[in-house]
Structure 1
């Protein structure tokens, strides 16, 4: 008789173990835009060299709430792109690379560090701009 008394509890135990929680997540992919820049494309502004890119997806909402990451890779003398991308800001060969972004534009600036003269970046460089959607809290 006591065994019949425990049977409903046993069945309820199997019922609760069988329940699983399902969640639906919406994934919004990031956007990646690449630009190749020749050494001659850098414009000298005072003691700084600057190159600008038009980035149409970078609007006022995106600029305020999303993440913008810029990295660079260099081409070697044979014209082969390095497989290593370095995230900016970066100091490379005594030159400081920095990034500014606003509505529709990304600017890369190069300036000498610790009193070093500012030099035009030698050779071809690829910049990769990644816009990562984020929800503002």
Structure 2
């Protein structure tokens, strides 16, 4: 009878050690690029009516389709010197649509007026933050 009492304990001794979970974490650091665009540096495309600025970013050369590219623009305080926050692009601000396109060598920030408004470039310098987030794709 006592052997039947020890049987569950014996089985637990074999089962519990096999229940340990092993987790492997891979940490890949992101890369942040800050870039300042002065008011006189914006180009203007007469055919589309869009202001644009091209940022050469060779760091995008190794970016794959599973990686993340996040672009944000600094919104400045009333004094125009201190960034209050960074806001993700694309966005609409003061009747202007800010959007971004990129390939493996450059990133372009475009400004276009919305609802028929004319495009207006910023009157002060603008800080652009580009964050490259590598990712391991799982199929």
TM-score range, shorter chain: 0.7 to 0.9
Map of 1:106 onto structure 2: 107
Gaps of 5+ in 2: none
Map of 2:44 onto structure 1: 44
- Superposition TM-score, scaled by structure 1 size: 0.86
State the secondary structure of the residue aligned to 1:97.
strand
In structure 1, C-alpha distance between the alignment counterparts of 2:126 and 2:110, rounded to whole Å: 13
Taking the TM superposition and a 5 Å limit, the aligned residue runs for 1:1-137 are 2-18=1-17, 19-46=19-46, 47-59=49-61, 61-76=62-77, 77-82=79-84, 84-136=85-137, 137=139
Cα shift readout 1:17-40 (whole Å, capped 9, x = no counterpart): 344111212121221111122222
Deviation of 1:15 after TM superposition, in Å, equals: 4.4
Deviation of 1:133 after TM superposition, in Å, equals: 1.5
> CA 1:24–1:127 in structure 2 vs 1: closer, same or farther (change >3 Å)?
same
User: Is 72-81 or 43-52 further displaced after alignment?
Assistant: 72-81
In structure 2, C-alpha distance between the alignment counterparts of 1:109 and 1:63, rounded to whole Å: 23
Cα shift readout 1:16-63 (whole Å, capped 9, x = no counterpart): 33441112121212211111222222111221111111212211x515
Aligned 8 A contact 1:75 1:123 in 2: no
Aligned residues: 134
> CA 1:93–1:78 in structure 2 vs 1: closer, same or farther (change >3 Å)?
closer
Cα shift readout 1:72-114 (whole Å, capped 9, x = no counterpart): 11333251121x2111110000000010000121100001010
Deviation of 1:6 after TM superposition, in Å, equals: 2.5
Gaps of 5+ in 1: none
> CA 1:78–1:105 in structure 2 vs 1: closer, same or farther (change >3 Å)?
closer
- Superposition TM-score, scaled by structure 2 size: 0.85
In structure 2, C-alpha distance between the alignment counterparts of 1:17 and 1:124, rounded to whole Å: 63
